[in-house]
Amino acid sequence: MDFKNGAWILEEGVAAFEPKQIYEKHITKTEVTLIAPTTKILDKGGTLGGILLTIKITSPSDGVLRLQSFHHMGLKDRDPKFELDTEEKELETEEKDGCLTIKSGNISLVINEENGEMKYMRGDTLLTKSNLAFVKEDFRGMPYDTTGRGSHMAEQLSLGVGELVYGLGERFGAFVKNGQHIDIWNKDGGTSSDQSYKNIPFYMTNKGYGVFVNEPDRVDFEVASNQVSKVVFSVEGESLDYFIFDGPTMKDVLVKYTDLTGKPALPPQWSFGLWLSTSFTTDYDEKTVMSFIDGMLDRGIPLSVFHFDCCWMKEFHWTDFTFDEKTFPDPKGLIKRIHDKGIRVCVWINPYIAQASDAFKEGMEKGYFLTRENGDVWQWDMWQPGMAIVDFTNPDAWTWYQGKLKTLTDMGVDCFKTDFGERIPTDCVYHNGNDPKKMHNYYTYLYNKCVYEFLQKEKGEENALVFARSATAGGQKFPVHWGGDCWSDYEPMEQSLRGGLSLTSSGFGFWSHDIGGFEQTSTADVYKRWAAFGLCSSHSRLHGSSSYRVPWLYDEEAVEVVREFTRRKLSLLPYLYSEAVKCHKTGIPVMRSMALEFPEDRNCAYLDKQFMLGESILVAPVFREDSVAEYYLPKGKWINLFTGERREGGDWLTEKVDYHTIPMWIKSNTILATSNYTEDADFDFEKELELVAYDVTDAKCDVYKNGELLVTYEMKLTDEKKGEYEYRFIYGKQVHEDFKPNVVVF
């Protein structure tokens, strides 16, 4: 919310009330409570009225502080709330020279008791200054302020010289958020606007700290926009709750943030292979499906998952969880035939139930849908005529929905694409009485949790997976997420990458996008470039809107490109899967920005057209018709994955790239876990593992299998002239006695 008019004055009618002193304090081992008047109290008469703020400071873990501020505390506590690990740790407190210092790990909040000023410190280094305020939009003086309307709680945190802000969910505009006004409110707006499917009220800066606003309702962020040296965030109401995390690096911030909100679950190994979709509104039946699958396999393109999008169900009946008998008379037999080819099956679902379906009648009669205040089912005609929305706060509706999914898993379906979940109304009633405004963003959390937990039970922890579009804070626990509906040109390809890097800067570990673009049909040129990019992402799916995405419909070279990059990705699967395990354990994403990996290199701060795939591989997609790639290699030595060329970094490169390569560079002193097996994604690393040492001086490589350590290989150069090394294998519990992977020194 923009409360200020320039630097000096507030907007007309707006009044802001900031702490002017600490009048009273209560200190325990785990909590500090402060009573902070917003006018200076000179005598007892000054205590007879006015606005008073209550401030509570706690810590869920070392290096993290939580600040809760309240105006009126008598309001009913309304759900939902984010599911957080908020165990309270002991605080260190010190009172000295009129200041109260509250410390957790290396971060401290220093409060001037005389004037109420607050600042966050890392040791003796200033992180940010705080200007907390209660704000009224229509303030007419104390005697008239009785309605509670127009109330907001706002925090203003300072930014230092050169300080840059990252995160706030999946955002398709500039990767660095400085200068942007960001509304944390999920919308179905495609990938080319300021709207987002995945709004996360969390940001971090290159100063190495992060901020999470613990509010599932709308949060308004002014990021160095109205006040160009401040981040201002506000929520409607009488209270504000936020956490601040000290890194000291941005990676450390993500570790601590996901300690609080949840680590990304570990996707199954098979999910890292190539997915092929029917596309959205295309015509298809069993013959079409099998022709696509056989066409890919006959052309030597390994497939891991085949996805049935909306039209596996009858028109006007989405979502009724029933295969259209006209086009799929034997769905169980079809799924078995797909399984027999070593391919898993995914089907499209959403939480909206069309009026024409039998599921609607059942859900309406049993009270499983959102209702209006008069008890009518909440319906509208956007997306499906007369559709209703499943109420996941109703335990019986939750169980009913999972029962519908079970009819599909009993047929052999392996996973679900959980589409939609953004256009959730606020003029509705929930079964458990949850606040509908707070539920707008939070709805997607319950939706994806319902489906994910069902798959955990039905398929086992190691095979649970959704392919989700919408998300809120904590949604990273239910991977994988894809970037939503993009057009099919170079610009949307670039926008998609920015959105993905922004999302993975917000606690999400895995990300995908529609190879070739979603809307319309790309040129063969764009398709081939997007295939290279998509198959260097953590997850890779060929998907579109009204046209198919099989490569032979573009040109024969597209077939070669998809085949080559699919097999290249499978050859890197031991590395990718091991990076995924590390992501699951730490919260550091598999696909990550250059700024996250190289925070000390100022040239990386704004880069959003290249990325790191794990810790060791730099990828720079081509975004131009003239086949020119422009990218930056950070300082250090690098080895080209395709050519073996060695380069010293610290400079920009411009090169012409054919369709069969993409700039992919390996950091020196890397041991890369690879495989010579490229037929499918569901293979045993133990049988086909090859470790490639790139200019190693002293390095190690951890390789994981089934989520557990398979082997650690350590290697140290002892004599450079003779090329002699010390090395050792450390084996995990899963290893057979005769296991010894091949090692290649490059």
The set of catalytic residues is 419, 422, 485
Beta strands 511-512 and 481-482 are parallel
Question: What are the structure tokens assigned to 400, written together?
Answer: 């009913």
Residue 540 phi, psi dihedral angles, 5° rounding: -135, 120
Q: Rounded to an integer, what distance in angstroms lies between the CA atom of residue 345 and that of residue 480?
A: 15
Q: Rounded to an integer, what distance in angstroms lies between the CA atom of residue 97 and that of residue 271?
A: 59
Beta bridge partners of 353: 388
Question: What are the structure tokens assigned to 219, written together?
Answer: 């949060």
CB-side neighbour CA atoms (13 Å) of 23: 18
Q: Rounded to an integer, what distance in angstroms lies between the CA atom of residue 81 and that of residue 545?
A: 36
Give 410: exposed, middle or buried? Use CB within 10 Å, 0-12, 13-18, 19+.
Answer: exposed
Nearest to 478 by CA among 212, 261, 190, 254: 261
Q: Rounded to an integer, what distance in angstroms lies between the CA atom of residue 224 and that of residue 606?
A: 16
Amino acid of residue 250: M
b/e sequence 696-728, b meaning 16+ C-beta within 10 Å: beebebbbbbeeebbbebbbebeeeeeeebebe
Amino acid of residue 214: N
DSSP sequence for 641-697: TTT--EEE-SEEEEEE--TT---EEEESSEEEEEES--S-S---HHHHEEEEEES-S
b/e sequence 38-54, b meaning 16+ C-beta within 10 Å: beeeeeeeeeeeebbbb
Amino acid of residue 48: L
Q: Rounded to an integer, what distance in angstroms lies between the CA atom of residue 558 and that of residue 564?
A: 10
Taking only Cα atoms into account, the Rg of the chain, rounded to an integer number of angstroms, comes to 27
Q: Rounded to an integer, what distance in angstroms lies between the CA atom of residue 649 and that of residue 402?
A: 52
Q: Are 10 and 70 in contact (CB under 8 A)?
A: no
Residue 216 phi, psi dihedral angles, 5° rounding: -75, -15
Question: What are the structure tokens assigned to 372, written together?
Answer: 């209006």
Beta bridge partners of 525: none
